[in-house]
């Protein structure tokens, strides 16, 4: 049953010919009325194919909405709370990428989509947790400057002969950094029949102890196809909201109840309604940054096919 506020948003969205895209970490009340839910890659692919809408409301963090804008510069891209930033993206500046390129002139630059526009503008190709293996495989150079997430770089290293050099070297997600070896040990004891699935933004030692290391979208498709009944979920807790809605016959345990991305939770139904009424806050990307970043976005989308 949708609430009055949810119904008002649905009506406004239709009146304004808008679409609501939301990341898998959004709170339940937003997930319930989103037109499309997904991981970073799925959201990016969806944003690329939107042609019949005037407004995109992006319930996620800054870098995701910026990518949607780069792919749709003629549309209004709104974000319910403009403060919704990914701290990891802010760990690598454009200047740092330029400096790394000077040091390794023959290397390719592959950046996680969780990065600033000014850093993307200096990159050759982007990647997400869902396509990082394919993207790295598509790169010709033998050395890859990879950032800002050091853990994602360590995740992909065993799958390639190329040398991955992390930039800035200590980039990380504070939410996934919360997981420790002891949490996996505890979960194995507590839920002996459950499969443990972890996100590649987690520390490598934790990744190595899990049964699977997957993006949030990867977790969804794995669980959909799995014969297992119980799963320990090593990522932000609201992925479980989506899993419970889509596959209610299975049981999910968070690896840590406290794995909450605070900025993802800044969006509320009230702010979502206000942003549709006022048609702001608007997300934009300076033209020169968008022009210099779009080929890295497109190259990533091509490599993901
Ligand atoms: P996914 O692309 O796996 O959804 O990850 C995005 C993210 O920010 C994880 O913290
Ligand atoms: Fe950024 Fe981590 Fe939040 Fe993902 S979970 S948006 S990487 S802070």
Query: For residue 114, what is the domain's CATH number?
Result: 3.40.50.10800
Report yes or no on 296 lying in a domain: no
Query: How confident is the model at residue 305, as a pLDDT?
Result: 85
Does residue 191 share a domain with residue 158? Answer: no
CA distance 187 to 196: 8
Distance 7 CA to ligand 1 centre (A): 28
Confirm or reject: Cβ of 259 under 6 Å from ligand 2. no
Please compute Rg for the chain using Cα positions. Answer: 19
Confirm or reject: Cβ of 114 under 6 Å from ligand 2. yes
Nearest atom within ligand 2 for CA of residue 60? 6
When divided into structural domains, the chain yields a total of 3
**Which residue positions form the known binding site for [4Fe-4S] cluster?**
86, 173, 261
Confirm or reject: Cβ of 87 under 6 Å from ligand 2. yes
What region does 83 belong to: left with phi over 0, alpha with psi -120 to 50, or beta?
A: alpha
Query: How confident is the model at residue 61, as a pLDDT?
Result: 97
**Which residue positions form the known binding site for iminosuccinate?**
23, 40, 112-114, 129, 199-201, 216
Does residue 209 share a domain with residue 190? Answer: yes
Report yes or no on 294 lying in a domain: no
Report yes or no on 134 lying in a domain: yes
Q: Which of 31, 216, 260 to mutate to test the pocket of ligand 1 (most atoms within 8 A of CB)?
A: 216
Confirm or reject: Cβ of 71 under 6 Å from ligand 2. no
Residue 175: cis peptide before it, omega within 30 degrees of 0: no
Does residue 182 share a domain with residue 248? Answer: yes
Query: How confident is the model at residue 63, as a pLDDT?
Result: 95
Q: Ligand 1: residues whose CB is within 6 Å? A: 24, 39-40, 114, 128-130, 173, 201, 215-216
**Which residue positions form the known binding site?**
23, 40, 86, 112-114, 129, 173, 199-201, 216, 261
- Nearest residue (by CA) to ligand 2, atom 2, is 173
Listed residue (110, 232, 242) closest to 179, CA to CA: 232
- Nearest residue (by CA) to ligand 1, atom 7, is 40
Would you say how long the chain is, in residues? 305
Give, in degrees to the nearest 5, the angle at Cα 225 between 221 and 227: 135
Does residue 74 share a domain with residue 118? Answer: no
Does residue 100 share a domain with residue 63? Answer: no
Query: How confident is the model at residue 183, as a pLDDT?
Result: 98
* DSSP three-state, residue 19: strand
Report yes or no on 141 lying in a domain: yes
Q: Chunked in runs of 10, what are the mean pLDDT values of the chain (305 residues)?
A: 96 98 98 98 94 97 96 96 98 98 98 97 98 98 98 98 98 98 98 98 98 98 98 98 98 98 98 98 97 96 93
| Boundary of a domain, candidates 172, 190, 225 | 172
Confirm or reject: Cβ of 238 under 6 Å from ligand 2. no
- Nearest residue (by CA) to ligand 2, atom 5, is 261
Does residue 36 share a domain with residue 10? Answer: yes
Does residue 73 share a domain with residue 58? Answer: yes
CA distance 27 to 181: 27
Does residue 155 share a domain with residue 99? Answer: yes
| Contact in structure between 252 and 195 (CB atoms under 8 Å) | no
CA distance 27 to 61: 13
CA distance 253 to 244: 11
Does residue 94 share a domain with residue 69? Answer: no
> C-alpha 230: how far from its chain's center?
24
Does residue 12 share a domain with residue 64? Answer: yes
Q: Which of 36, 42, 47, 129 to mutate to test the pocket of ligand 1 (most atoms within 8 A of CB)?
A: 129
CA distance 74 to 88: 28
Report yes or no on 184 lying in a domain: yes
Report yes or no on 99 lying in a domain: yes
Distance 149 CA to ligand 2 centre (A): 10
Does residue 64 share a domain with residue 45? Answer: yes
Distance 115 CA to ligand 2 centre (A): 11
Report yes or no on 29 lying in a domain: yes
Residue 155: cis peptide before it, omega within 30 degrees of 0: no
CA distance 234 to 198: 4
| Boundary of a domain, candidates 172, 205, 233 | 172
Confirm or reject: Cβ of 202 under 6 Å from ligand 2. no
CA distance 136 to 132: 6
Does residue 159 share a domain with residue 93? Answer: yes
- Print the domain residue range for 20: 4-84+264-285
Distance 4 CA to ligand 1 centre (A): 31
Beta strands in 175-250 (DSSP E): 195-198, 212-213, 230-234
Report yes or no on 302 lying in a domain: no
Q: Which residues, 6 or more positions from 135, have their beta carbon under 8 angstroms from its beta carbon?
A: 110, 125, 126, 127, 300, 303, 304
């Amino acid at each position: 049953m949708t609430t009055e506020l949810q119904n008002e948003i649905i009506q406004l969205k239709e009146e304004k010919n808008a679409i609501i895209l939301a990341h898998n970490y959004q709170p339940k009340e937003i997930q319930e009325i989103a037109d499309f839910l997904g991981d970073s890659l799925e959201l990016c692919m969806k944003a690329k194919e939107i042609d019949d809408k005037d407004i995109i409301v992006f319930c996620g963090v800054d870098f995701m909405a910026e990518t949607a804008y780069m792919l749709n510069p003629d549309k209004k891209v709104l974000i319910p709370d403009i403060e919704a930033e990914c701290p990891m993206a802010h760990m690598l500046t454009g200047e740092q990428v330029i400096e790394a390129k000077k040091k390794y002139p023959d290397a390719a630059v592959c950046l996680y989509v969780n990065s600033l526009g000014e850093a993307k503008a200096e990159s050759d190709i982007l990647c997400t947790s869902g396509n990082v293996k394919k993207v790295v495989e598509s790169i010709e150079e033998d050395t890859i400057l990879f950032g800002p997430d050091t853990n994602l770089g360590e995740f992909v290293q065993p799958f390639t002969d190329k040398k991955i050099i992390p930039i800035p070297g200590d980039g990380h997600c504070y939410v996934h950094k919360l997981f420790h070896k002891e949490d996996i040990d505890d979960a194995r004891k507590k839920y002996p029949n459950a499969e443990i699935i972890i996100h590649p933004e987690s520390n490598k030692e934790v990744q190595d102890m899990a049964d699977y290391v997957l993006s949030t979208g990867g977790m969804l498709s794995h669980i959909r196809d799995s014969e297992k009944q119980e799963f320990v979920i090593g990522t932000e807790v609201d992925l479980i909201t989506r899993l419970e809605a889509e596959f209610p016959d299975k049981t999910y345990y968070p690896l840590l109840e406290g794995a909450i991305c605070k900025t993802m939770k800044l969006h509320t139904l009230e702010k979502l309604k206000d942003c549709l009424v006022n048609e702001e806050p608007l997300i934009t990307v300076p033209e020169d940054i968008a022009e210099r970043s779009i080929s890295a976005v497109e190259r990533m989308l091509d490599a993901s096919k």
